[in-house]
Amino acid sequence: MTMTDSARSGRHGVLDGVRVADFSRVLAGPYATMTLADFGADVLKIEPPLGDDTRHWLPPIDENGMATYFGSVNRNKRSVALDLTDETDRARALRLAASADVVVENFRPGVMARFGLDHDAVRAVNPAVVYCSITGFGDGAGAALAGYDLLVQAVGGLMSITGDPDGPAAKAGVALVDVLCGQNAVAGILLALRERDRSGVGQRIQVDLLHSLLSALTNQAASTLATGTPPRRLGNEHPSIAPYALFRAADRDLVIAVGNDKQFRALSAALGLPDLPTDPRFASNADRVAHRDELTAILEHRLATAPATEWVAHLSAAGIPAGLVNDVAEAIAFAERLGLDPVVELGASRTIASPIGLSETPADYRTAPPELNDAHPAAWLTGEELP
């Protein structure tokens, strides 16, 4: 994918005309502001003189030498470098915030106040501003805690339920909490813009990594609240469904995700094990959960007779949710085969497309991630075309 239908047709994005002064860095904030930019917002990324830290997180790099970490969350933006410890640059930054519809920042609580750029200071010169603060642990008792994704996965409970039962706790393979928090920031910003459309009143949005994770724990958190017993690590198995796990075939692993008795009967038939559904150990989902180890042994004994690709094709044809354990390259190729157009190419930059599909105002991929300080603040203030 090199250009969206909206770009070819000249249609405007749903957020066309919305200005975003983006003081955020690393992942959660930049992910949020890139989402806004993909749908038409004019995002000015305000960076320190040396740039966002992720500009220096390399390798890997793209063909232009840009860190792919930085590139993954900064397309469709322009950059201006300002030293917020310098009085003149702070004044420029305040003017940028005063002209913005949305301000996004993810400094530790109190830092933006020291710069004279906190919500109260910006609202004094821009009463309708939608001001989004992203923190690790809120601005109360947790204000001093560093909001690193790994730390939040640990103290937020995710690592306690991730990994093999007899092994150590494990983190997710990506900074998942940052991404979740960035998505929550987008939702909050859009809700606040909707209220401003109705009332003309701006407001402050506060999202934090810990609360974002706790919310995303969904059924695991609900189970803990209802029973008082925290869930334990189950590896790749599900606490409430079986068979819903990773299984070994003759050559590699595959996943089978059976969610109800009908699917289990179909699975049993497809594997040539028609008596399984009448076995008292496996007659209902509750029975299968109670006897999951015995069921896994039976299924893997059968799956060991053929390669995983053959089983996936056979089971999928029978309507049973099954798939290979793809690496990231295989996952992208799989999405391409399904016609999902997952890759955006903007010059040397290749990133994953927005997961949000709008029929009338789709995402618009206009520019590659910016070089540091590629814009001039005066041009953004006056609305002139930036270089």
Strands (E), 89-185: 102-105, 130-135
Question: For the segment 83-140, what is each residue's pLDDT rounded down to a tens digit?
Answer: 999 999 999 999 999 999 999 999 999 999 999 999 999 999 999 999 999 999 999 9
Rg of the chain (C-alpha set): 25
Letter string b/e over residues 181-195, b meaning 16 or more CB atoms within 10 A of that residue's CB? bbbbbbebbbebbee
Percentages of the chain per state (helix, strand, coil), in multiples of 5: 40, 15, 45
Query: In percent, how much of the chain has pLDDT > 90?
Result: 89
Q: Quickly state the pLDDT bin for 271 (edges 50, 70, 90).
A: very high
* SS3 call for 166: coil
12 pLDDT above the threshold of 80 = no
Catalytic site includes residue 178: yes
For residues 382 and 387, give the distance between their C-alpha atoms in angstroms, rounded to a whole number.
14
In order of 30, 74, 376, the CA distances from 78 in angstroms are 12, 9, 9
Separation in Å, CA 96 to CA 107, 201, 302: 17, 19, 64
pLDDT tens, position by position, 165-206: 999 999 999 999 999 999 999 999 999 999 999 999 999 999
pLDDT score of 375: 86
- Mean pLDDT calculated for residue range 364-380: 88
Residues in the chain: 387
383 pLDDT band (50/70/90 cuts)? low
State which amino acid sits at residue 53: D
The active-site residue out of 178, 253, 275, 327 is: 178
Question: ∠ CA 35-66-45 to the nearest 5 degrees?
Answer: 40
Domains contained in the chain, CATH given: 5-217+358-382 (3.40.50.10540), 253-324 (3.30.1540.10)
| Confidence label for 384 from pLDDT (cuts 50, 70 and 90) | low
Can you give the pLDDT at residue 382? 67
What is the overall mean pLDDT for the chain?
A: 93
Are the C-beta atoms of residues 104 and 27 closer than 8 Å to each other? no
